[in-house]
Amino acid sequence: MRFSIYQESKKGGRKVNQDRMGYLYTRDSLLMLVADGMGGHARGEVAAQLTMQTMASIYQRDAAPLLADPARYLEESVLAAHRELHRYRAEHSLPEAPRTTVIACVIQHGMATWAHVGDSRLYLLRSGRIAERTTDHSRVHHLVAAGLIKAEEAKDHPERNRIFNCIGAFVAPTVEVSRPTALRNGDTLLLCSDGLWGALTDRQIAEGFYGNTVMRAVPDLIETALANAGTDADNCTAVAMTWAGTESVEMVPPTDAPVSTLVMPDGAVASTIQIPRSGEFTDIGLTEDQIDEAVAEINKAIARSTKLIDSK
């Protein structure tokens, strides 16, 4: 596989960044994740982190180097995260479990399959236009779908943050899984929290990526979203990947693709998500500095891969 990928998160006007993001890949598979801890409930950042760790750990166990069934993985790993949050609740004697939304996407054989719970979104951008977009599990979406309010009224609606489907609630979440979608060279997948899309129009998002690399588009869109939202800006998080196609051992990958999994040894998994070695998820134990260190390590691995490609 060949792709360009970039991730970034800023806390905006909030005291704590409750968003989490990350990606993992093997020689033949890529997983991207964004989780947005729900600030209306206690320990939203814990919910997001535990969800990331749980889903990443299951991926690392099962992607060898492919997931047998991406759709099944997505549904089962989300439900496993839900159970982990309730285990955390029980062990910490909390009145309710921490809660989070999530958007996740798996790419294998040039096919993308995604799943979401809540209002974190995925956009498939193709030739400067939005080809696909997830549907929010929110009160406002239902109002728009029913024709009770106009789409342009949704951003400022007083019930915009009312989510009816999340991980960690009293009932298990409904995991909405997409059909497998074939990717074309140059397609971009954007996974983001509502702190990004809620402060931007679809047109701004599409134009932000048109003619730009993900390394440039993501930080620019985050800065625009934060500026638009002002002092009350929500946490703003995005992971974006531009697809550059598949490859075989006979091919020499082009040097303009920052990541090529062709050089990865069998059984290797690259990750920006720190997974507890013990397999226990109840103590997240990650500071922002540790998360930054994990991202720095994966960027070093990407740089090493690129040097190997250039030397061929």
What are 145-174's pLDDT values in tens digits? 555 555 555 565 445 667 889 999 999 999
Arithmetic mean of pLDDT, 281-310: 44
Q: What pLDDT score was predicted for residue 258?
A: 79
Q: What pLDDT score was predicted for residue 160?
A: 62
Residue showing tokens 């013990």: 278
Q: List the single range of 13-27, 36-50, 191-205, 283-297 with lowest mean pLDDT.
A: 283-297
Q: Residue 138's pLDDT band (boundaries 50, 70, 90)?
A: confident
Half-sphere exposure (CA, 13 Å, Cβ side) for 175?
Answer: 24
Query: From CA 260, how far away is CA 164, in angstroms rounded?
Result: 39
Q: Residue 17's pLDDT band (boundaries 50, 70, 90)?
A: very high
The residue segments making up the domain with residue 83 are 2-310
* List of residues 6+ apart from 252 with CB closer than 8 A: 309, 312
Query: From CA 2, how far away is CA 6, in angstroms rounded?
Result: 14
Contact 116, 32 (CB under 8 A): no
* Ramachandran area for residue 126 (φ above 0: left; ψ -120 to 50: alpha; else beta): beta
Query: Could you give the number of structural domains in the chain?
Result: 1
Mean pLDDT for all residues in the chain: 84
146 vs 40, residue with greater confidence: 40
Arithmetic mean of pLDDT, 270-278: 75
The CATH number that applies at residue 85 is 3.60.40.10
In SS3 terms, 101-123 reads as EEEEEEEECCEEEEEEECCCEEE
In SS3 terms, 259-289 reads as EEHHHCCCCCCEECCCCCCCCCCCCCCCCHH
Q: Residue 251's pLDDT band (boundaries 50, 70, 90)?
A: very low
